[in-house]
């Protein structure tokens, strides 16, 4: 039997060697061994019930793809905000935390997960308490998103969930000839190349007008006016209400798509499918 490293999470479900151990005398499984198998399975998953701590909004969204609500110890308070969280309905009954150390003083926490970074003090605290602290990298492409799904599938012993997510993503197809799009949000926030959402446009056969810029950046109204565009993807539902004269002229002469703020804040399949559904 392979040994588990101290402090590492025990995988969900029975160990691979359980059936052989129960039936090592060579006889067919009995009712008693069937009962023991069920009991061992329940004992295996029970330590992780309500023991997964999600530290930020994007971790909330990713983990909700793999965990049942009752398996969370807590999620960030932003997970309950309908304008920010695409998983608000699923996570509405999960306890929330405010990011304070006192929120995490519990022997029930087995795994703590965050995106990109974790406060060094908090990370040291988890180490002392033998809590597995995991930092996920925010994906900047569809390939990296799939890699995160596979990693989480392995962590929780649910590779089939990761496979289903990848299959659904692979099934998305373009429905029209290539169009040129620009993302535009509050205060001019936009997305250039090397971002997940620009990569989504590429997969669907379209083009990000500002793919030559890297990451998230700020656009001026004039940038939108001088670039040839087929459509503008607004990253806030109230963008069309802006009163700037240049902006009003732009909206009057360009087709627009309105996405809720929650659709592009964090990488999750629901948000990608939402964008796909808005494209002609």
CA distance 47 to 9: 10
Q: What is the pLDDT of residue 235?
A: 82
Window from 1-5, 161-165, 223-227 with minimum mean pLDDT: 1-5
Count Cβ atoms below 10 Å from residue 218 Cβ, excluding itself.
Answer: 10
pLDDT at 245 over 90: no
Residue 203: closest CA among 154, 170, 237, 244: 170
pLDDT in tens, 164-214: 999 999 998 877 788 999 998 878 889 999 999 999 999 888 999 999 999
Confidence of residue 102 (pLDDT cuts 50, 70, 90): very high
- Mean pLDDT, the chain, whole residue set: 82
Q: What is the pLDDT of residue 130?
A: 94
Render 117-146 in DSSP notation, one character per residue.
Answer: ---HHHHHHHHHTT-EEEEEPPPSSHHHHH
Q: Give the best-scoring range by mean pLDDT among 4-13, 172-181, 195-204, 222-231.
A: 195-204
Contacts 24+ apart (CB under 8 A), 269-273: 269/65, 269/165, 269/168, 269/169, 270/86, 270/87, 271/61, 271/86, 272/169, 272/172, 272/200, 273/168, 273/172
Burial readout 263-280 (b: 16 or more C-beta within 10 A, e: otherwise): bbbbbbbbbbebbbeebe
Confidence of residue 277 (pLDDT cuts 50, 70, 90): confident
pLDDT: which is higher, 83 or 113? 113
Q: What is the pLDDT of residue 194?
A: 93
pLDDT at 280 over 90: no
Q: What is the pLDDT of residue 181?
A: 93
Nearest-10 Cα torsion for 279, 184, 142, 177: 30
Count Cβ atoms below 10 Å from residue 128 Cβ, excluding itself.
Answer: 7
CA distance 102 to 105: 5
Q: Counting every residue, how long is the chain?
A: 280
Q: What is the pLDDT of residue 22?
A: 38
CA distance 116 to 58: 10
Q: What is the pLDDT of residue 31?
A: 47
pLDDT at 39 over 80: no
pLDDT at 36 over 50: no
Q: Quick check: 91 and 75 in contact, CB under 8 A?
A: yes
Confidence of residue 27 (pLDDT cuts 50, 70, 90): very low
Tokens 């009003």 belong to which residue?
248
pLDDT at 265 over 70: yes
Confidence of residue 219 (pLDDT cuts 50, 70, 90): confident
180-184: strand order across its sheet: 207-208, 180-184, 231-234, 255-258
pLDDT at 19 over 50: no
């Amino acid at each position: 039997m392979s040994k588990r490293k101290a402090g590492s999470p025990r995988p969900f479900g029975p160990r691979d060697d359980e059936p052989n151990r129960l039936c090592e005398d060579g006889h067919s499984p009995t009712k008693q061994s069937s009962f023991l198998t069920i009991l061992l399975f329940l004992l295996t998953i029970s330590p992780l019930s309500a023991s997964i701590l999600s530290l930020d909004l994007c971790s909330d969204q990713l983990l909700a793809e793999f965990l049942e609500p009752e398996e969370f110890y807590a999620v960030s308070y932003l997970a309950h905000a309908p304008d920010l969280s695409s998983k608000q309905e699923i996570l509405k009954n999960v306890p929330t935390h405010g990011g304070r150390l006192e929120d995490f003083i519990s022997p029930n926490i087995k795994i703590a997960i965050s995106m990109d970074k974790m406060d060094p003090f908090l990370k040291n605290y988890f180490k002392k308490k033998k809590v597995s602290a995991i930092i996920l990298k925010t994906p900047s492409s569809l390939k990296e998103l799939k890699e995160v799904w596979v990693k989480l599938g392995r962590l929780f012993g649910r590779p089939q969930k990761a496979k289903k997510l990848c299959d659904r993503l692979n099934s998305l197809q373009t429905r029209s000839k290539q169009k040129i799009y620009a993302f535009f949000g509050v205060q001019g926030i936009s997305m250039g190349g090397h971002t997940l959402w620009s990569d989504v446009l590429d997969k669907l056969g379209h083009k990000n007008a500002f793919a030559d810029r890297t990451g998230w950046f700020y656009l001026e109204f004039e940038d939108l006016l001088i670039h040839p565009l087929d459509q503008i993807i607004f990253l806030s539902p109230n963008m069309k209400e802006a009163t700037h004269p240049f902006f009003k002229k732009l909206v009057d002469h360009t087709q627009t798509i309105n996405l809720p703020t929650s659709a592009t804040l964090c990488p999750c399949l629901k948000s990608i499918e939402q964008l796909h559904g808005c494209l002609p």
